Structure 1
């Protein structure tokens, strides 16, 4: 009888919603609150063609995360709290808008070197950068497609 009562009591309880691996926007606490390696969920990594976890590193004073797909390409996401997009807009490339962020695609297509970077505005003096280098240093268009895909995946999480 007690077991039946417990079973019936559980029937009226609300079930917890299933866990989701989809990205949810990060509260606007600023770039300093983000960890570069945490910006890509497992679903995001799969979408980007990444099969492994990234490795945290520092580039100057900026925080970064590296992913390497041996024989295919390397990807780095860099979060810089001290350098704005305006400061990074040098050289060849084109203006973009990624989601609600201004961006700049830094690429020299005439070099055909299989590298491309998408730089995103992340506040007054902050930026996020997605760099892709193909292992064979060819197919710059593919490198840019990869960089643009990752930029779109991380953009909702940026301040």
Structure 2
């Protein structure tokens, strides 16, 4: 039951992270100048808006090719939906899998985290939890990060063979560090 909650939490966080990555990349100075009405003699245009929250992100865009390489992932992610949350799955056959879930309507405070398996963590500027059952040794670990008061992103790692929980947590920590700067 705790593993199901952890997976659901991780999936929600993953979805949030991916949404944030897709938006918020400012245009290059050349693009801005070419498209600006002031460059054509018109009034200046307002600055582009920053992403409002996790809904502005696309889960599969939260890990660039370089990020995937850093995390030990060679494949492209596959978009999916978990409940009402958007997610992306990356699978390294015979090794491990990662799911990043963005949950724009599931705040970190609403997630039920077992005190025996959850540990408070800070990743960049985001507060969250690392969730694993080291006693079970099931090769799963999740990092759950809050996104404002309304949402969360979940990074869920499952090792093939369901062994080596410490390795799963190192992998989850790595992916969370790569995704976190892209979160609002």
Q: TM-score range by the shorter chain?
A: 0.7 to 0.9
Deviation at 1:149, TM superposition (A): 0.3
Corresponding residue for residue 96 of structure 2:
73
Q: What are the superposed Cα offsets for residues 98-150 of structure 1, whole Å, 9 maximum, x if unpaired?
A: 00000100111111000000000112120000000000100000000000000
Q: Is the 8 A contact 1:89 1:104 kept in 2?
A: no
Corresponding residue for residue 180 of structure 2:
155
Establish whether residue 36 from structure 1 lines up as the match of residue 59 from structure 2: yes
CA distance in 2, matches of 1:28, 1:96: 24
Establish whether residue 103 from structure 1 lines up as the match of residue 122 from structure 2: no
Corresponding residue for residue 148 of structure 2:
123
Q: Secondary structure at the match of 1:121?
A: strand
Q: What are the superposed Cα offsets for residues 49-73 of structure 1, whole Å, 9 maximum, x if unpaired?
A: 0001000000000000001100000
Structure richer in helix, relative to its length: 2
CA distance in 2, matches of 1:81, 1:101: 15
CA distance in 1, matches of 2:51, 2:84: 22
CA distance in 2, matches of 1:154, 1:29: 17
- The structure 1 segments of at least 4 consecutive aligned residues displaced by more than 3 Å after TM superposition are 25-28
Structure 2, unmatched stretches of 5+, are 1-20, 25-49
Which structure has the bigger radius of gyration?
1
Q: Secondary structure at the match of 2:169?
A: helix
Structure 1, unmatched stretches of 5+, are 1-22
Cα RMSD after superposing both structures: 1.4
Tell me the TM-score normalised to structure 2 length.
Answer: 0.71
Establish whether residue 143 from structure 1 lines up as the match of residue 182 from structure 2: no
Q: What are the superposed Cα offsets for residues 60-90 of structure 1, whole Å, 9 maximum, x if unpaired?
A: 0000000110000010000001111111241
Aligned length: 136
